[in-house]
Structure formats: structure tokens, C-alpha cells
Structure 1
Amino acid sequence: MKILVVSAHPEPQSLNASLTRFAVDHLRAAGHEVRESDLYAMKWKATVDADDFPGGDDFPGGDDRLHVMAASERATLDDRLTADVAAEQEKVRWSDAVVLQFPLWWFSTPAILKGWIDRVFTAGFAYGPKVPPPYSEGPLAGRRALVSVTAGARATAFSDRGIHGALADVLHPLQHGLFWFTGMAPLEPFAVYGSNDLPEETFEAAKQAYAARLDGLFTDEPVPFRTLVGGDYDHDMRLLPGVEEPGLRGLDLHVRPRD
């Protein structure tokens, strides 16, 4: 299978860099084809601006304002995206699975990874009126997705009653808002906690656990998010009354009951 690994950490000797190298080596040893995008090594441009849409009039409506969605869709469909964005889109198209490796900074991704998402997942490529509808039937359907994240806090702080909130909720913008929205099937995230001072024996155990998750990249059950067209939502994209299990609240409403 073909796997794209996208990593985001500025230090080549960091835990995240070690996990990235481990994942790439493990996947290749298992017979997979692997491509990498080390965003810091690539000096990836993280901000969307008019320079991303060269060679055309990307101020629709005649008001001299940049409308990013409309501009990105026109540039995508006209094959006018910058070379760096076009190359990353080709990697995503090529892949059967995408793995994101990053440290959890301020309950989100590093800015450079958010910028990769903002610039690569353009209208006309990952969403928009001219591609399949979102939430399970998006244009990137058929691909698997795995988040591998490191966090300085202990695991209990990210539990259902933990002060940071459940990790599934913290990562919902990626799992549901990026992967599931564009049609990818997200797996349960892999996390290494206490990452600021990780003992060697803990790192070895983490690698073994990560290897098991990588081995299940194409066989483990994805998170069973509800589909937009499966009859659970009304025309305003609101969950229909009575569909959920009693007592469920918040983001858990959008996950189907597991067997």
C-alpha cells in the first residue's frame, strides 16, 4: 500500500522525529511504499495568501478582495496552484493512507502543519460544490488516516474527566473536520504522553505500541462517524432527534454506537 507520512517538528533529534523515522522504517519493512513530507525541513510556507493563486484574476466579484475558497477552487481547477502545493496534493492523491506526526501545541497542531492543511486541502481538491459531498463521500474517500501525537501531560489529563478534555475531543477538528469531512476514514489516534521527559524504556514500549497501530493501518476499524447522507441528519445538517443513545452529549453525538 502507499502511505504518506507528514511530520511537523523543528528539531531533527526530537521524539517526534524519532517516531517519524520509526514509522517510515517499519512501514517500508512491511512492504509498503512510503513518501515523507517533513514540513520544517521543507521550510513549508504556512500562510494562505494571494501568492498561492498565481496567473489569474482571483478576486471574483470585482471588489478587489481575495475570496480564498473561490480563488483556491479556480486555481485548483485551472491547474494554477503553486508548485509546492501541487506536489503535496499529488502525494495525497497517490496515497492509500496519510499519517500525521506532530506534538500537541496549545491543544492543536503546530502552525506549520495547520498551514499545510490550509494550503493543500483547497476547494476543488478536498471540498467544494464541484466534488462529492462531505462527511464520508468526500473526494478523498477510500483513504485511511492516522494521527500520531505527542503530549507533555499524562494520559489521565486527557481522559473523559481529565482537565484537558478527552483526546478525541481535542483532536476532533482533525479527525472529523479534516479527515472525515474530505472522505478519509480516521483511525483512533495514537498518543505518547509525558513526552517532555520520556525514559528510554517508555520510548521502547511506545515504539512497540506504535508498531501495532501501524500494522493495523488498513485493518483496524475506523472511528464510526455518522455520514451526512445516511439518514441521521436533516437538511440543515442537524442530527435528527432520537438518533443518539440516551445520555450522549457534545461531539459524541456524531459517532455511531459501536457493536
Structure 2
Amino acid sequence: MNLKQFFRFVEIQTKVASQFPLILGSLFCVYQYGRFDWLAFGLFFTALLSLDMFTTGLNNLFDARRNRYQFENKRDYHNVLLRDDLPFKWAEMILLVLLVIVLITGLGLVFQTDLIVLALGMISFGIALIYSYGPVPINHTPFGEILSGFTMGGLITFLAVYIHTHHLGWVGLQGDYLQLNLREILRIGLVGMPLILSTANIMLANNMSDLHEDRQNGRFTLPHYIGLDHSKRLFSFNYLLIYLVITILVITQVLPWTCLIV
């Protein structure tokens, strides 16, 4: 497997969706709290990118195993493993390496921060697995947009802020109790809302374009249940809601006015 095939296997062009919340969450942290931890950022960036590539690669590997005899001509396949007739063992080795990188950088981030990051990281990893793996993977159901939006848009944004500000104490353990600063958590949740909706829209657009192929492969996503017309309306409504939330956050001075330009 050469570099070009590897990039197609992990669909490198889609990785902006996971890195965008990390970058914007970190920039918000600089704007709101005046803090930035380069080491924590680097560890989180590497762990997040590796986990995203692992999830996509795992999904493509399972799809290749299910659909390897669907077409007689290899050029009819979209999956690079089938199109280029690549050994599945190579894909498994790459996934193992990515998983090791996730574990090493993830544990490094925990040592750099605290156990809250470990707990949220385990939740993220669990969601990544059930998204592509299991009797009924989440990406085969109408809940893919919701779960990917919550995880990539919301949870990553929260972690992106928390890794820089964990020592401020607005989330932590107080004896046997979890201590929460609900005001700060709500603020970060609102900042993450545009990213939650935009991530969900990315998945929705992808599922709309792949509707026919997904049905053939046994994937019954949200557009299958609500139809293309309602999916397009939902897509437009989400973007209107994004602009509304950003405007409110700028008016309340949670975000700088320059966000309106972007």
C-alpha cells in the first residue's frame, strides 16, 4: 500500500471535520481564558487524527469484506481495498499501528491533564468503535448524524478547551463527587453548537449523495427514512440555526465579532 492508497483508505480529505473543533476550541480558549498548552494540543491533535483515521479505515475494511464479490470489474468499486486489490492483512496492520498511536498519545494526554480527559477519551473511543463495528453499526442507522455531531462537534470542542484549562477547576473530582461549573460548561456547549450542527450536516450531505449505494449495502441512514426533500430542508435549517447561535454568542460577547465575518 503506497501513500496515495493509504490516504484513500483513511479518506484523509474528511479529517478536517475532526480537527476543526480542536482548532476552534483551542482558539476560543486563547480568546476567553488566555491559555494555550502546546504539548497537550500536540498530543490531542495526534490522538484525534489517528482515531479518526482508524475509524474510517475500520469502516472501509468491513465494507470491503462484505462487498468483495459485488462487482466483477474491480474498477467499479469505490473502496480502495477492492479497487486496487489490496491485501486485507495490510489494512489490519495499518489499523493496529493507528490504534497503538491513539493509545500512546491518549495516555500521554491524560498524564499531561487529569482523569476527566481519560473518562471522556474512553467515551469517544467507545463511540468510534460502535459507529463502524458491531451487529448494527451506528453508521448503518438514522442516528449517525446525531452521534457524529455530538462527538466530533461537541465532545471534541469541550476537550479542546479543557486540555488547556483543566487546572482552573471548573470540572473535577471533589472527594466522591463530581464538581461542575455549569455556567462554563453551558458556555462551551453553546460554542460547540455550530460545530455540532455543521458536523451533522457533513454526514447528512454524505448520506444524501450515497443514498442509493447505501441502500444496496444494507445501510439505512436518515435520508432513507425521511426522504431527500426533507433531508435537504433539515440541511438548510441546521445552517440557519448555526448563524443564529453564532449571532447570539457574539452579542453576549462569548465570541468575538470577527466570527460574524467568517
State TM-score, norm by structure 2. Answer: 0.27
Larger strand share, 1 or 2: 1
Larger helix share, 1 or 2: 2
Which structure is richer in relative contact order (CA contacts within 8 A, separation 6 or more)?
2
State TM-score, norm by structure 1. Answer: 0.27
